[in-house]
């Protein structure tokens, strides 16, 4: 059989039967735990879903413990182009550890990438139920926007979501146009530029990576309203897409 190519086109020599998987991406950890929990043997410290996940922890997404990962003897490590460092991927591969790198920048990307991972690489015989349900719920085409939003992800200095990003695409499919005063995927931004009714109707304040809260974030905006939102629902792909559909598609406007 030909060696499968990951989302970046790199050949990944996975065994015919994958029995041990380490995930370096919280979204993919949640997806693996919901789809084939018996295969998941390791995850990062940031992999918080599902609650009570009992697997070995291998530090963070940007500083994984490569020795600990290798000691788990995984048949496959799953990573993401945006979340993980190319250096760590390369060093794991140099140790002979197969690493599958995903590239997910849109909601359709998420469905296609995870379908390949689960069926072509891990060897599930059919799509996980959550994947089929989520794909059915999210619109294929982007509707007209009903609300312009600015989405900060950090403060001091302020950084915001730009395009092209998974978050911007997901929000667009729910009718929210992500706006930015500067180009780029995650540009720095001036608060006065963000807090401008000419730019946005609403500031969406997620709780990750910066933990915006009722007492930290809304008080900075005086000209446009704010709304706190779970960062998981706008940045995670996988089963979180079902909850995101409930929150965003069910409460448009």
- Residue 76's pLDDT band, with cuts at 50, 70 and 90, is very high
On whether both 131 and 227 belong to a single domain, the answer is: no
Supply the mean pLDDT for the chain: 96
Give domain status of residue 141, yes or no.
no
- Residue 2's pLDDT band, with cuts at 50, 70 and 90, is confident
Per-residue pLDDT reduced to its tens digit, 174-213: 999 999 999 999 999 999 999 999 999 999 999 999 999 9
| Statement: residue 253 has pLDDT above 90 | no
Per-residue pLDDT reduced to its tens digit, 5-25: 999 999 999 999 999 999 999
Total Cβ atoms within 10 A of residue 220:
16
Per-residue pLDDT reduced to its tens digit, 89-122: 999 999 999 999 999 999 999 999 999 999 999 9
Note the residue count of the chain.
253
Per-residue pLDDT reduced to its tens digit, 31-40: 999 999 999 9
What is the pLDDT, as a whole number, of residue 251?
A: 47
Q: Domain containing 55 — which CATH number? A: 3.40.50.1980
On whether both 107 and 165 belong to a single domain, the answer is: no
What is the pLDDT, as a whole number, of residue 87?
A: 98
Q: Which domain holds residue 210?
A: 147-237
* Residue 69: both structure tokens together: 């990962």
On whether both 176 and 213 belong to a single domain, the answer is: yes
pTM given for the model: 0.93
Q: How far apart are CA 58 and CA 122, in angstroms?
A: 21
% residues pLDDT > 70 (the chain)? 98
What is the pLDDT, as a whole number, of residue 1?
A: 67
184: left (phi over 0), alpha (psi -120 to 50) or beta: left
| Statement: residue 252 has pLDDT above 90 | no
Between the CA atoms of 238, 152, 43 and 64, what dihedral angle is there, to the nearest 10 degrees?
140
On whether both 124 and 165 belong to a single domain, the answer is: no
Place of tokens 């180009």: 183
Q: Which of 135, 156, 179 is the last residue of a domain?
A: 135
């Amino acid at each position: 059989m030909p060696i499968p190519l990951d989302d970046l086109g790199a050949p990944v020599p996975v065994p015919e039967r994958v029995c041990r998987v380490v995930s370096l991406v919280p979204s993919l950890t949640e997806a693996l735990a919901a789809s084939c929990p018996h295969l998941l043997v390791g995850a990062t410290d940031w992999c918080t879903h599902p609650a009570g996940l009992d697997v070995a922890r291998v530090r963070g997404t940007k500083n994984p413990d490569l020795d600990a990962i290798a000691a788990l003897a995984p048949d496959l490590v799953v990573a993401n182009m945006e979340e993980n460092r190319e250096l760590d991927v390369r060093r794991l591969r140099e140790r002979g550890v197969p690493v599958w790198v995903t590239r997910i920048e849109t909601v359709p990307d998420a469905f296609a990438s995870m379908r390949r991972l689960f069926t072509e690489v891990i060897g599930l015989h059919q799509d996980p139920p959550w994947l089929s349900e989520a794909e059915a719920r999210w619109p294929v085409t982007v509707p007209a926007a009903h609300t312009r939003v600015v989405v900060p992800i950090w403060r001091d200095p302020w950084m915001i979501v730009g395009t092209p990003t998974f978050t911007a695409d997901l929000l667009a499919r729910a009718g929210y146009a992500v706006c930015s005063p500067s180009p780029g995927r995650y540009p720095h931004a001036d608060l006065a530029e963000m807090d401008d009714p000419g730019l946005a109707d609403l500031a969406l304040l997620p709780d990750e990576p910066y933990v915006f809260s009722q007492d930290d974030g809304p008080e900075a905006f005086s000209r446009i309203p704010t709304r706190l939102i779970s960062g998981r629902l706008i940045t995670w792909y996988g089963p979180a897409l079902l909850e995101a559909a409930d929150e965003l598609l069910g409460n448009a406007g």
